[in-house]
Amino acid sequence: MLYPATERRIKEVTSLSRKKGRDQLNSYLIEGVRALEAAMDAGVELLDLFASKEALSDDRVENLVLRFTGRSNKVSERDMGRISDMTSSPGILGVARIPSEDTDCLLCKGKILALDGVQDPGNVGTLIRTAAWFGVEAVVGGLDTADFYAPKTVRAAMGGIWDVMLERVDFLEGFIGTCKRNGADIRYADMDGPMVRDWQPREHSILIIGSEAHGVSRGVRSMADGAVSIESGGANLAVESLNAAVAGGILMSHW
């Protein structure tokens, strides 16, 4: 059954486009039919749905509302524009609970992607999506990496955030050091390192992708066993480097 959305709830959902709002409500946005279908299939804890009157004429939107067992809210096009983070709203969005983290479980994972200062949420989402594709079990981010649950990250991840463990650590260097003491093979992406094709990772391994502008920080780099790089096939007269997400994808394909 559809209910009219309250003004209070609309204001709460509007705040989820900002990290402060997500932290306060421990929730994040999922927008669009395909994303919500994938979220339901993955068993994501959805708190409520919002659909515009116009979008409800779409059979897939109506099916989502019928499938959802929680509260579904009907809103005007104007209010949907307020709560949506997209320039052109798809007309339906859900609010999901941010899952609790359990850093201790990370030590049991075989393949971990660590993000050290990757600040663009689109790059972070793409790296999460790619990690899920290549069977990476967890993605870890330091405090200066973009929020895993920012709307742009969620959209770029294309469902990947529900296929891998996501963890935020206060001190990435300390986390890497703990993994090293537990026998992990730790490598970071760098243009001057050995070619990735020569990397023979151990069963428990970590790949670190650094910031778009500065690469992996000195402290995190000092904890690693070495670097891995991607061989260029061109003259590189104008291209300085690869995009962080592209580089991460190539490296993960060799992992």
Domains and CATH numbers, the chain: 2-97 (3.30.1330.30), 103-253 (3.40.1280.10)
Q: Given this model, what pLDDT does residue 104 score? A: 64
pLDDT at 106 over 90: no
Q: Which two tokens stand for residue 208?
A: 């670190």
Q: Is the pTM of this model over 0.85?
A: yes
Q: How confident is the model at residue 180 (pLDDT cuts 50, 70, 90)?
A: very high
Quickly count: other Cβ atoms within 10 Å of residue 113's Cβ: 25
**What is the sign of the dihedral through the CA atoms of 215, 218, 222 and 223?**
negative
Cα 204 to Cα 85, 142, 248, distances in angstroms? 38, 20, 18
pLDDT at 216 over 70: yes
Residue 74: strand pairing partners: 4, 51
Average pLDDT score over residue span 164-186: 93
DSSP assignment letter at 16: G
Q: Is the pLDDT higher at 12 or at 53?
A: 12
Q: Given this model, what pLDDT does residue 234 score? A: 66
User: CB–CB of 10/79 below 8 Å?
Assistant: yes
Q: Given this model, what pLDDT does residue 103 score? A: 62
Q: Given this model, what pLDDT does residue 105 score? A: 75
List phi, psi (to 5°) of 49. -115, 150
pLDDT at 116 over 90: yes
In the chain, helix, strand, coil percent, each to 5?
Answer: 40, 25, 35
Q: Given this model, what pLDDT does residue 203 score? A: 85
Residues 6+ apart with CB under 8 A from 43: none
Q: How confident is the model at residue 198 (pLDDT cuts 50, 70, 90)?
A: confident
pLDDT at 244 over 60: yes
- Looking at every residue in the chain, the average pLDDT score rounds to 92
Residue 228: strand pairing partners: 189
pLDDT at 151 over 60: yes
Using alpha carbons, select from 56, 60, 12, 71 the residue that is nearest to residue 36: 60
Q: How confident is the model at residue 237 (pLDDT cuts 50, 70, 90)?
A: low
Q: Write out pLDDT tens, residues 10-39.
A: 999 999 999 999 999 999 999 999 999 999
CA atoms within 13 A on the CB side of 21: 16
User: CB–CB of 35/154 below 8 Å?
Assistant: yes
Rg (CA), the chain: 20
Lowest mean pLDDT among 32-41, 61-70, 103-112: 103-112
